[in-house]
Amino acid sequence: MGRPVVAEAFRRGYETRASVRDLAQARLFPKGVAVVPGDLTKADTLHTALEGVTAVIFTHGISGNDAQGAEAVNYGAVRNVLSVLEEPAHIVLMTTVGVTKPSIGHDWKRRGERLVRASGLPYTIVRPGWFDYNSSNEHQLVMRQGDTHWSGSPADGVISRNQLAQVLVDAITAPSANKKTFELVAVKGTTQSDLDPLYAALTTDESGSDNGPGDQDTLPAGNEPQRVKEDLNALRGRFNR
């Protein structure tokens, strides 16, 4: 997802910076995009990428049952960025539809969501459906809450990568998207030109809550590993000034 998001941000006129592990990937991005080295799993490599930014869009993630990898990528990347940021920035975090269904990968993504909510930063958390499984006539965007679709298949919802990129970038400057957590899918119909009515219809995340509106509490905070509790406490309200 990184490539379409970078392309969309650049198309909209943002001064765009892409953090990559291998600078050879610079050729994948539009000319004019600043490509800087950085490994999301290593906080000390992220200072250049994050210097002076006003927004961060996360498109990282791994699937499967590799517990160490899921913690390092799905969760550690979020913790590291939030720890390195020196000034407030709008955070747009992409996780996944069905993230509240317990699994190794989902649980670490959800813990990343909780860090973002606790940070005190403006944020938008987007849980997209299955990438590019949409039919050619499925472009009408739907934003859901409560994460009730757990089949683990495209039946949970679909979305094109290009439309997802548009929403992730749009959320940066949409006041009505601030402090909102939602699933994003597309159904039969044409795309909407104005997303504000969709954002505005959503329930705002409850202040101090670990979860999004309507989420089942399938990952009780009291049962979390001590290191996760410590990370959360270290970041809680860090940017509340």
Element (H, E) at 57: strand 55-58
The span from the CA of 163 to the CA of 171, in Å, is 12
Domains in the chain and their CATH numbers?
Answer: 2-235 (3.40.50.720)
The span from the CA of 229 to the CA of 234, in Å, is 9
The span from the CA of 79 to the CA of 48, in Å, is 17
Cβ neighbours for 157, distance < 8 A, ≥ 6 positions apart: 97, 128, 129, 130, 142, 144, 149, 183, 184, 185, 186
Cross-strand bridge partners of residue 180:
124
Q: What are the tens digits of pLDDT across the range 160-198?
A: 999 999 999 999 999 999 999 999 999 999 999 999 999
The span from the CA of 108 to the CA of 72, in Å, is 9
Instruction: Output 26-30 pairs: Cβ under 8 A, ≥24 positions apart.
Output: 28/3, 29/3, 30/6
The span from the CA of 210 to the CA of 220, in Å, is 9
Q: What are the tens digits of pLDDT across the range 150-169?
A: 999 999 999 999 999 999 99
Q: Are 39 and 72 in contact (CB under 8 A)?
A: no
The owner of tokens 């509790």 is: 229
Q: What are the tens digits of pLDDT across the range 1-43?
A: 999 999 999 999 999 999 999 999 999 999 999 999 999 999 9
Q: Are 172 and 119 in contact (CB under 8 A)?
A: no
Q: At residue 227, does pLDDT exceed 70?
A: yes
pLDDT band at 241 (very low <50, low <70, confident <90, very high): low
Q: What are the tens digits of pLDDT across the range 98-115?
A: 999 999 999 999 999 999
Give the model's pLDDT for residue 60. 97
Q: At residue 64, does pLDDT exceed 90?
A: no
Please give the distance of CA 72 from its chain centroid, rounded to a whole number: 16
